[in-house]
Amino acid sequence: MRTPGPLPLVVAAGLLALSLSAAAQKTTLLVYTALETDQLKAYQEGFNKVEPNIELKWVRDSTGVITAKLLAEKSNPQADAVMGVAASSLALLDKNGMLEPYRPLNLDAIMSQYRDKKNPPAWFGMDVWGATICFNTVEAAKRGIPKPEGWKDLLKPAYKGQVVMPNPASSGTGFFDVTAWLALWGDKGGSGEGWKFMDGLHENIAQYTHSGSKPCNMAAAGEFVVGISFEYRANANKAKGAPIDLVFPKEGLGWDLEAFAIHKGTKKLDAAKKLADWASSKDAMLLYGKNFAITAQPGVAAPLANVPKDYEARLVKMDFTWAADNRERILAEWTRRYNAKSEPRK
């Protein structure tokens, strides 16, 4: 027992040699992402059809966590590329000089408001995801809760304890809700109407969840009546048969771009560029279109069953640079005011 024979060592050495040689032929890209786990597989397969020799390793977490992680690793970067992370976050990373500008193959097809303005761009959009309320009709009927038309309706006492929304510090969905309200009604460094709205909403909030999907899932299960979420999840849940209606508040919808960027300092620049090229391609856009109503390349997405055709028009005007510049301040203020109700993050 004290002296294992040489055989196990030989075997181990052999396996090691094999795996090393195998790895040598494939390049591995470490990609940080906030994409939903049920989407990752399809995109990965799509990419590997074109580039079978590049293996993708995902590090997946919610937008806020991924952003914080990337920032924390600034001096010792691990990621090769960032895919499917909110543009507002990528703008922040760019401010910190962490992105490698690159002009992907299909850039011209991408609408100008859905990409970084610089040339070559530091990042480009893949698809839009925007706010949608999941409203459980069965539970609402039981409690006599009316269907909201706009955000301000949610301030009514009828909704007390029945509203869930994502925490903006961890969830990109939550963050764009907050920035949208501030854009609609004013920030004024913490004293604007936007903040007053959120104060009122906070009274009715039962929980702040970690992920953007959870509010809709909870509404779908009837746990709460109003789940502030995003259109992909709302559409998917309704398709599964959940008794929910999708509500698009009339004042305007917050939104963000799922976007792509190459991390500066990556040792696998060529492979990352290939990934960028694919991510901007029409094939990729078609895949995105399966899940989202609006892709960065227009005219590609087929309409989603439960999402109105004028969805794009309802989106609020969004300035990603402003969002990036003020992210830290907004989050700090939000945490200071509302953190007591937050569901434990991760």
Interface with other proteins (CB under 8 A)? 1-2, 37-38, 41, 57-60, 64-65, 68-69, 71-72, 76, 138, 161, 169-170, 206-211, 213-218, 220-224, 240-243, 339-346
Give the residue among 132, 32, 151, 93 at the shortest CA–CA distance from 320: 93
Q: CA-to-CA distance for 61 and 291, rounded, in angstroms?
A: 19
Shortest distance in whole angstroms from residue 313 CB to other proteins: 29
**257, two tokens:** 């771009």
DSSP letter (8 states) at residue 221: T
Closest to other proteins by CB, 223 vs 245, is 223
Shortest distance in whole angstroms from residue 333 CB to other proteins: 14
Task: Judge whether 225 and 139 are in contact, CB under 8 Å.
Answer: yes
Closest to other proteins by CB, 167 vs 326, is 167
Residue with tokens 């907050």: 178
- Which alpha helices (DSSP H) does 55-95 contain, by range? 63-72, 87-95
Read out DSSP for 84-96?
A: EEEHHHHHHHHHT
Helix (H) or strand (E) holding 262: strand 255-263
Closest to other proteins by CB, 70 vs 293, is 70
Shortest distance in whole angstroms from residue 126 CB to other proteins: 20
Closest to other proteins by CB, 167 vs 297, is 167
Q: CA-to-CA distance for 109 and 84, rounded, in angstroms?
A: 18
Closest to other proteins by CB, 161 vs 265, is 161
Closest to other proteins by CB, 27 vs 321, is 27
Q: CA-to-CA distance for 113 and 204, rounded, in angstroms?
A: 35
Shortest distance in whole angstroms from residue 36 CB to other proteins: 8
Shortest distance in whole angstroms from residue 345 CB to other proteins: 4
Shortest distance in whole angstroms from residue 220 CB to other proteins: 8
**181, two tokens:** 């309200």
Q: CA-to-CA distance for 223 and 9, rounded, in angstroms?
A: 56
Shortest distance in whole angstroms from residue 5 CB to other proteins: 14
What type of residue is 288?
A: Y
Q: CA-to-CA distance for 187 and 172, rounded, in angstroms?
A: 19
Residue with tokens 């090393």: 20
Shortest distance in whole angstroms from residue 150 CB to other proteins: 25
Closest to other proteins by CB, 42 vs 316, is 42
103 burial (CB, 10 Å; 0-12 / 13-18 / 19+) is middle
Closest to other proteins by CB, 78 vs 113, is 78
